[in-house]
Amino acid sequence: MTKRTELVVGSRTLSVSNLDKVLYPRDGYTKGDVIDYYRGAAAWILPHLRNNPLTLQRYPDGIDAQSFFEKHVPRGMPAWIPTASIASPEGHREKTSYMLCNDEPALVWVANMAALVLHVWTSHLPTIEEPDYVFFDLDPGERCTLKTLARVALGMRDMLAEIGLSALVKTSGGTGLHVVVPLAAGYSYDAAKIFSEAVARRIAARMNDAVTLERALKKRDRSLVYLDYLQVGRGKTIVSAYSLRARDGAPVSTPLQWDEVEAFARKRTASPADAFAAFNIETTPKRLAKHGDLWSGRAWKKHRLEAAIGKARKLWTG
């Protein structure tokens, strides 16, 4: 039997259901806990979601049961939640109608749908054809150590700094790290993709003892970091900053300071997942209250690529 509760969120009154339903069985976190987390983090997560096509990853019966992705506007979504109709990334005539999560009531509605994980495009409306940033997905193999992963992230930071770019970093919420370079307006996805491939190939050549670009899982050395640069592209998504993940401990994809990554490079902890588990549904609100969003304000420095590409040609060729 569905238990419904009226919840006042801003100017909206929402009907939420089964708040005591356990979604993280080994930790006991319920749907109510998930809603509370997203409400508490709303001020920081909403800037990353606003006017951004949203894909939900829903777990209606918890993280051990069947899940599904929902890209199209969910059935039963309230009329007051805005939507955007966007042409297919494949260039077909078909359009997809996405929901836009622009305020706290919409975020609570999403959480009530047991949408634990929030995936976003790397661009937002109205400039949907222009990526806001280039990102690199650092995905460690199961035998890859935290030290190796941190060393690769720091190597990428330093290599980008050589050509005048300041990178940001966050946990994926699982075992990996995302390194991000914010972009000034006006770049196409094709330009971002060409740049990301050039950077990836350079770091792979420089750190070939730690980095692989091998896409085929069977051929990949599992002690290395797989650097996925192919996630850059129109319609490709990334887990939003401050999104929960569907893993034991309810970890959160969390922006980091670079000195924290430097500390990871010195840690004895072997497993990246064990280290990143410290950023979770309970600790992240406290971290946000103390530090705010590390990807906001002056930290989110938007870069033009022309000068960086010129420096790269001088430093990285020959």
pLDDT at 296: 94
Instruction: Judge whether residue 92 has pLDDT over 60.
Output: no
Residues present in the chain in total: 318
Under the banding of pLDDT at 50, 70 and 90, the label for residue 94 is confident
Sign of CA dihedral 7, 12, 13, 18: negative
CATH 3.90.920.10, the chain: domain bounds: 4-121, 133-316
User: Does residue 78 have a cis bond before it (omega within 30 degrees)?
Assistant: no
Cα separation, 4 vs 14, in Å, equals 10
Cα separation, 1 vs 54, in Å, equals 30
Instruction: Judge whether residue 41 has pLDDT over 90.
Output: yes
pLDDT at 90: 61
Cα separation, 296 vs 307, in Å, equals 24
Instruction: Judge whether residue 317 has pLDDT over 80.
Output: no
> Which residues fall within 8 angstroms of residue 96, CB to CB, at 6 or more apart?
53, 71, 72, 85, 86, 88
Question: What's the token pair of residue 82?
Answer: 């805005």
For the chain, percent of residues with pLDDT exceeding 90: 82
Q: pTM for this one?
A: 0.94
User: Rounded mean pLDDT of 200-209?
Assistant: 93
pLDDT in tens, 210-222: 999 988 888 888 9
Angle at 117 between CA 283 and CA 134, to 5 degrees: 95
CB 247 within 8 A of CB 63: yes
Specify the fold of 133-316.
DNA primase, PRIM domain (3.90.920)
State in words which class domain 4-121 has.
alpha beta
pLDDT at 93: 65
